[in-house]
Amino acid sequence: MKKTIGGLSVLLEGNQKNRAIIFLHGFPYDHTMWKAQIAAFSEAYYCVAYDIRGLGDSSVGDGQFTMELFVDDLEMMLHELKIEKPIICAFSMGGYIALRALERMEKKFSAVILCDTLSNADDNETKINRSDSIKRINAQGLSSFSKIFVARCFSDAYKKEHKDAIEKRIAKSRKFNSIGIKGGLLAMLTRNDTTPYLSSIKLPTLVLCGEHDTITPPIRVKAMAEQIPEASFVLIKNAGHMSVIENPEDCNEAIRIFLENN
């Protein structure tokens, strides 16, 4: 079932009496990136996957987004849906939101799954690259930005074997509102570093990363996981940054084992 809550487009799958999993997608994607996970977990869990503000079918507004606003949206969603102590399952930019949400209100969650994400803020080079992207989108629209950005996210092997799927992802991202895309870039480039908070996370945590991820490389993601007291790290074979799409079987197996034990 789909609903709009506070301007956000939300997919709700499964029985709401079950323990809830909130899925937070990456950039520049929408909730559909969690298709394989929702299919696997909606029988036993209440799966809530919404489009982050500015992306997918969610409202774009003025595009003046910050990570704090994205966390406010998550808090609003929990409140409106009356969900208590969900598991949060977050990918890349969704992970930036999740880590800041935990820093602000850890007690509202019961477990954390972080996929291909990092706690640090952007370094100077990344900030300049994001600013250049905004300039390029203003000059040329989303066409080349979406193509380059989406292609970078997938491993070479996946790109070779799934040309149509990649083209579809690029086409979808090109249809997003450029104000929302630029807002996402601004929110990422102005976000806080949540690294100092990692050592105080008390929740059971699973950290996944694709072995060929070049955006959030496994060596750095593993180092982040090592700073979280109750975290386990799983390297996902045959996958780049988009591990949950490229190798859903191994990701889902790691998530299933984690959830059974937590």
**Which spans of this chain sit near ligand MLT (rule: CB under 6 A)?**
26-27, 92-93, 153, 188, 215
115 bridge partner residues: 91, 208
CA-based nearest residue to 98, from 218, 198, 214, 237: 198
State in angstroms the smallest separation of the CB of 243 from ligand MLT: 11
Q: Which is closer to ligand MLT, CB of 8 or CB of 189?
A: 189
* Smallest gap from residue 108 Cβ to ligand MLT (A): 23
Question: Taking the complex as a whole, how short is the minimal distance between the CB of residue 29 and ligand MLT, in angstroms?
Answer: 7
Closer Cβ to ligand MLT, 81 or 189, answer by number: 189
Shortest gap between Cβ of 150 and ligand MLT (angstroms)?
A: 9
Q: How far is the CB of 216 from ligand MLT (least distance, A)?
A: 7
The distance between the two most distant Cα atoms of the chain, rounded to a whole number of Å, is 50
Smallest separation (angstroms) from ligand MLT to the CB of 111: 21
Q: Minimal CA–CA distance to 8: which of 38, 48, 52, 49? A: 52
CA Rg, the chain, in Å?
17
Nearer to ligand MLT, 142 or 188 (CB): 188
Cβ closer to ligand MLT: 26 or 248? 26
Please state the closest distance from residue 241 (CB atom) to ligand MLT, in A: 6
**Residue 16 CB, nearest approach to ligand MLT (Å):** 28
Please report the beta strands in the chain, taking only residues with DSSP state E, as ranges in sequence order. Answer: 2-5, 8-13, 20-24, 46-50, 87-91, 111-115, 205-210, 231-236
For ligand MLT, the closer CB: 14 or 116: 116
Residue (81 or 115) nearer to ligand MLT, CB: 115
Residue 48 or 188 with smaller CB distance to ligand MLT: 188
Q: Hey, what long-range contacts does 157-163 have (CB within 8 A, 24 or more apart)? A: 157/212, 157/238, 158/239, 158/240, 158/242, 158/246
Burial 35-49 (b: 16+ CB within 10 A, else e): eebbebbbeebbbbb
CB closer to ligand MLT out of 103 and 122: 122
| Angle at the Cα of 135 from the Cα atoms of 133 and 138, rounded to 5 degrees | 110
Q: How far apart are CA 172 and CA 166, in angstroms?
A: 10
Distances, alpha carbon 78 to alpha carbons 50, 259, 262, in Å: 11, 20, 20
